[in-house]
Amino acid sequence: MKIIVDRERCVGAGQCVLAAPAVFEQNREDGLVELLRPEPAQDLHEAVTEAELICPSGAIELHS
């Protein structure tokens, strides 16, 4: 799995961080998403998928 985030689309809701804190973080300056692991380990895939689904702005894109 490869993750792509669109910081311009992000609204800083932080739902991704709550769903997958090992993969996403919020930037301290602007509150927007920061991607910590663009290709997370298999055990994180479920949490990342959840983060994509609950992102209110659709800023997270997953690729197999």
CATH code at 13?
Answer: 3.30.70.20
Q: Give the pLDDT confidence score for residue 13 in this predicted structure.
A: 98
Say how far apart CA 64 and CA 15 lie, in whole Å.
Answer: 22
H/E stretch holding 16: helix 15-19
Domain count, the chain: 1
CA 59 – CA 41 distance, rounded (Å): 21
Are 13 and 59 in contact, with CB atoms under 8 Å apart? no
- How does pLDDT run across 10-54, given as a tens digit for each residue? 999 999 999 999 999 999 999 999 999 999 999 999 999 999 999
Residue-range definition of the domain harbouring residue 42: 2-63
pTM of the entire structure? 0.94
User: What is residue 48's predicted lDDT score, i.e. its pLDDT?
Assistant: 98
What pLDDT does residue 27 have?
97
Place of tokens 């692991």: 37
pLDDT of 37 reads 98
